[in-house]
């Protein structure tokens, strides 16, 4: 049984809290005896509205541990009993880093004030500093395979627990998002937050696990389970606008989910709770944030008596990269290569590159380009429409009049053969027009070479042209 969580502070985006992979959110509340997270209440409330388990942490400033514990509890007293309480013990901005008694004094004071033993967050290499808390407190340890592990898949690595009998939680990423797994179920989380809490029976749940494209097909997968699903043999995935207008529906396939069964053994049908379904992606869906409904129903058409679970998908995404840009001196061309993928490109079959003068604020040239297959982009951005066909290469006429001018490349999808009409653009960063080749002190738009020779000189090769 396990729960996945994220942890957030004042600089965190709400999208992290909304991440469908996370069943829990841990919010920074205070630091030292002079800082309160200005977004704490907002982040706490948002997590609660989403039905997620919650925690609150104090970042140790290394001052008087009793005073810091009192400051922490005074600022979160209305939430005590609803959240796991945590001491964040790390080296940055911590005047007492290295102490082996500071954390003990802090947790004792928190327990005296609340009756709750806090969890200890600490990096694996510093477990000795909090070892004397092991008999009373749980351990949330930080250890990463790398700072570029941007995934909810657990790294295959050993994590130590030091003097603690076991690891309660493991933070396994810390770059783009702080992701953690807690080896407890929902009831255990509640008991850690409030030791006097009676176990609550979880009877329903769900998660939107992923969105992916294959050409013009949109696939949605996740899980939903409910004790109210009994007797409802038909499954549907339904897409609606934010105001509830239905956009599309499809029958869902059943996926066996032993992981859900393990995490939520008390939910009826958890082992067969997986949903997956494929839609024809249309312009009516593009550019919208849609509600996703996983539905159990007794009606073959998807209506009748039903039990629903709700999630959201974002079909407004775009991403792009200008891989290379440079002059081709023998033809007087400026070549641009890269990729541009957008959910809003559906129905816009005409692709263009536009060369734009930034200072003059007008278009200089426009060229139509063909799609280039980019399997690497599909792998990196499977949730963006037609990522596999997102590549482009185009050439503009280039001469000395463009050298040094502030230019910009615009990638465009359009439903018009001339590139106007309905379109979606991506503006790459401005650049200065690159220099032209110079021969005998003169700028040349083309260079004729009769012959050349190459000579190796150490780790370099010298080319001689005639």
Query: What mean pLDDT is predicted for residues 275-282?
Result: 97
Helix axes 65-76, 102-114, angle to 10 degrees: 40
pLDDT at 456: 56
Which pLDDT band holds residue 436 (cuts at 50, 70, 90)?
confident
Q: pLDDT tens digits for 161-179?
A: 999 999 999 999 999 999 9
Where in the chain are the domains? 3-193, 204-314, 318-436
CB 205 within 8 A of CB 267: yes
pLDDT at 206: 86
Q: Does domain 3-193 have CATH number 3.20.20.80?
A: yes
pLDDT > 90: percent of the chain: 80
CA dist., res. 46 & res. 49, Å (int): 5
Which pLDDT band holds residue 260 (cuts at 50, 70, 90)?
confident
Q: pLDDT tens digits for 182-199?
A: 999 999 999 999 987 554
DSSP letter, residue 72: H
Strand partners, 219: 212, 278
Q: pLDDT tens digits for 69-119?
A: 999 999 999 999 999 999 999 999 999 999 999 999 999 999 999 999 999
pLDDT at 124: 96
Query: What mean pLDDT is predicted for residues 446-450?
Result: 42
Whether residue 251 has pLDDT greater than 60: yes
Whether residue 275 has pLDDT greater than 90: yes
DSSP letter, residue 304: S
pLDDT at 455: 61
CB 82 within 8 A of CB 111: no
Name the region of 334 (left: φ>0; alpha: ψ -120 to 50; beta: rest): beta
* CATH fold for domain 318-436: Immunoglobulin-like (2.60.40)
Whether residue 231 has pLDDT greater than 70: yes
What's the CATH number for 204-314? 2.60.40
Whether residue 403 has pLDDT greater than 80: yes
Whether residue 445 has pLDDT greater than 60: no
Query: What mean pLDDT is predicted for residues 277-281?
Result: 97
204-314 has the same fold as 3-193: no
Which pLDDT band holds residue 315 (cuts at 50, 70, 90)?
very high
> How far, in Å, are 134, 237, 342, 382, 421 from residue 267 at the CA level?
33, 20, 38, 31, 51
Query: What mean pLDDT is predicted for residues 290-316?
Result: 94
> How far, in Å, are 80, 116, 129, 305 from residue 67 at the CA level?
18, 17, 20, 56
pLDDT at 331: 67
């Amino acid at each position: 049984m396990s729960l996945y969580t994220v942890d957030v502070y004042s600089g965190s985006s709400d999208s992290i809290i909304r991440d469908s992979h996370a069943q829990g959110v841990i919010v920074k509340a205070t630091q030292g005896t002079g800082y309160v997270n200005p977004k704490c209440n907002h982040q706490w409330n948002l997590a609660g509205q989403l039905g997620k388990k919650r925690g609150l942490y104090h970042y140790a400033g290394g001052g008087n541990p009793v005073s810091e514990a009192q400051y922490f509890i005074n600022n979160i007293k209305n939430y005590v009993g609803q959240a796991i309480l945590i001491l964040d013990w790390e080296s940055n901005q911590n005047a007492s880093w290295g102490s082996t008694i500071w954390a003990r004094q802090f947790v004792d004071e928190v327990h005296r004030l609340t009756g709750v033993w806090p969890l200890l967050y600490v990096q694996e290499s510093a477990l000795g500093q909090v070892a004397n808390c092991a008999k009373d407190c749980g351990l949330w340890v930080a250890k990463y395979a790398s700072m570029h592990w941007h995934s909810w898949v657990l790294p295959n690595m050993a994590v130590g627990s030091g003097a603690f009998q076991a690891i309660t939680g493991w933070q396994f990423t810390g770059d783009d998002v702080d992701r953690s797994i807690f080896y407890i179920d929902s009831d255990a989380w509640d008991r850690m937050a409030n030791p006097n809490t009676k176990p609550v029976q979880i009877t329903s749940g769900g998660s939107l696990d992923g969105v992916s494209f294959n050409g013009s097909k949109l696939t949605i997968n996740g899980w939903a389970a409910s004790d109210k699903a009994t007797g409802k043999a038909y499954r549907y995935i339904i897409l609606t606008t934010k105001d509830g207008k239905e956009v599309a529906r499809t029958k869902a396939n059943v996926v066996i989910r032993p992981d859900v069964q393990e995490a939520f053994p008390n939910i009826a049908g958890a082992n067969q709770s997986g949903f997956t379904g494929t839609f024809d992606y249309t312009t009516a869906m593009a550019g919208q944030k849609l509600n996703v409904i996983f539905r159990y129903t007794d009606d073959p058409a998807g209506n009748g008596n039903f039990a629903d679970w709700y999630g959201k998908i974002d079909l407004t995404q775009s991403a792009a990269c200008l891989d290379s840009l440079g002059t081709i001196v023998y033809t007087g061309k400026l070549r641009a290569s890269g990729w541009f993928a957008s959910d809003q490109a559906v129905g816009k079959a005409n692709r263009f590159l536009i060369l734009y003068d930034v200072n003059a604020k007008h278009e200089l040239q426009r060229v139509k380009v063909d799609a280039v297959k980019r399997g690497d982009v599909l792998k990196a951005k499977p949730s963006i429409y037609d990522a596999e066909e997102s590549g482009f290469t185009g050439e503009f006429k280039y001469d000395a009049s463009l050298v040094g001018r502030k230019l910009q490349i615009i990638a465009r999808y359009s439903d018009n053969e001339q590139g106007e009409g309905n379109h979606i653009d991506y503006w790459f960063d401005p650049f200065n027009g690159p220099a032209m080749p110079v021969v005998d002190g003169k700028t040349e738009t083309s260079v004729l070479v009769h012959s050349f020779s190459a000579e190796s000189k150490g780790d370099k090769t010298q080319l001689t042209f005639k």
